[in-house]
Structure 1
């Protein structure tokens, strides 16, 4: 970010956003299984559509988990407990499509290549001898723009999303529903934040409140 001037935008979503719902459902599956079977192999994903959840993946474990019950619990904890909100944990459809891990995948990833080639002794370092379950590319870094060492745009976007969730849960804005997101654009000058350029908040809400009132309340409270 050394250009004389540029705009950088970051987005954050609340727990009721479909992407975040899927994250929480998959995370709950991993937590439930790992509590019983720390050696489990888990590749679990979720997909959601209004009133419907699909849980799918490949899992090899000795754990016993009621996936239907777990999914409904997570959906209810998110706040979808009434069909008026577009989702009801008690009545939504839940389809589970989970199979055991492919033997070919297990052969490829259970042990590191170094172990297979006799370069490593598993007794020397049990953790290091575990193979990689996937591959990917990531980037990121800490910075001093905020106390949390996160860039200012994502820091502010997360803060707004947390405010939305808090206002819904504490009853200050009872017409808010779980799905929402925020987007913050910051103008940078020579690599340093200069000003907040744009703030966008989108939120699910009950039908009885007007757009004008939503705008006023969100600005006042967030």
Structure 2
């Protein structure tokens, strides 16, 4: 195949779009904590001094929406007026309506809560079966945030983003070609000191040495100072980082966002199942790369379309793999919810640094390896 590049970006949790996702999932968790059968579909818009919460909710519980919003903003680190956006002074405006009765009927019949195409992907590039570019981008951006929140970099502010490119040859990652890191900072820190800190304390501690070559281009705040950031500098909205939430540019995107949606929404729940299926195929050694694609229609209680792509890396016929996956894993919308135990307040932890590859999530657990192997013994 020759050489080619793959790319990925990872915003920090203080990036306005990611903060919007985080607030949406923090609210979802609160609803589910009090009423596991809450049906929630929320959109968040952030701009200087204001947080807008809109959507449709049906629940038996009460949630202090402004309180959850402000505590989430404060947790991320927007807690000073000089940031232009902070938890204590941000107005919280809500517009919440009850879920449509037609949607209620569709879900009550165990049908899908929406119409969606979903994608799951796994590969052998990393120990958690995620593509290297997105895994590495998330690790770098999370390290920046962790050091700031631990007080080890008090001159950092919450906003930031990582963009990188990895050179591949014959489906194998070779080295890091470009690494760009943007970090928001206090006005009194010099760019030289900032760049040295990020290079020494973040990049060198996260990026494996064998991925850094003499031609690797590393840029830290290449545009210069980055003092004003977050919603004060750029409006944030849920659902605008769907490729970063998934697999980078390595796999297709189903096109739908995840955050703010309860598990009756198959664009979220079925995406998690598709990842679990693909991960099992690779973990069992049946292929080095696997992508699972599914389609759902609102109100329909079974999957409409199902396909598996293994990119020529399979060691067993793909049709057998497809058949075995359908035997082992439940694909009906309600069955997915029960199988993955999705009516719990688990979603806030997914909102930043990817929805996949975190081992404590149910769809990342390899619980069906023996079942799959027994149907596909080589």
- TM-score calculated relative to the size of structure 1: 0.87
Q: Which residue of 2 aligns with 1:111?
A: 108
CA distance in 1, matches of 2:120, 2:174: 21
SS for the counterpart of 2:93 is strand
Q: Which residue of 2 aligns with 1:122?
A: none
Structure 1: state its 5+ residue gaps: 113-129
1:161 to 141, 150, 174: 141
Q: Which residue of 2 aligns with 1:64?
A: 62
Equivalent residues, number: 202
2:50 to 52, 70, 75: 52
CA distance in 1, matches of 2:97, 2:158: 31
Cα distance, 1:15 vs structure 2: 1.0
SS for the counterpart of 2:161 is strand
CA distance in 1, matches of 2:149, 2:24: 23
CA distance in 1, matches of 2:85, 2:15: 12
Cα distance, 1:199 vs structure 2: 0.5
Cα distance, 1:151 vs structure 2: 0.8
Q: For residues 1-222 of structure 1, what are the structure 2 equivalents within 5 Å? A: 3-107=1-105, 109-112=106-109, 130-222=110-202
- TM-score calculated relative to the size of structure 2: 0.52
CA distance in 2, matches of 1:184, 1:140: 22
CA distance in 1, matches of 2:63, 2:28: 10
Structure 2: state its 5+ residue gaps: 203-378
Higher share of residues assigned strand: 1
CA distance in 1, matches of 2:11, 2:120: 19
Q: Which residue of 1 aligns with 2:360?
A: none
Cα distance, 1:212 vs structure 2: 2.2
Cα distance, 1:213 vs structure 2: 2.1
Q: Which residue of 1 aligns with 2:271?
A: none
Moved more, 178-187 or 98-107: 98-107
CA distance in 2, matches of 1:171, 1:37: 36
**1:154-195 per-position Cα deviation (integer Å, ceiling 9, x unaligned):** 111011011101210122211111111111210001111111
Moved over 6 A (4+): none
Moved more, 97-106 or 50-59: 97-106
SS for the counterpart of 1:131 is coil
Cα distance, 1:40 vs structure 2: 1.6
Moved more, 205-214 or 8-17: 205-214
SS for the counterpart of 1:87 is coil
CA distance in 1, matches of 2:97, 2:173: 48
RMSD between superposed Cα atoms in Å: 1.3
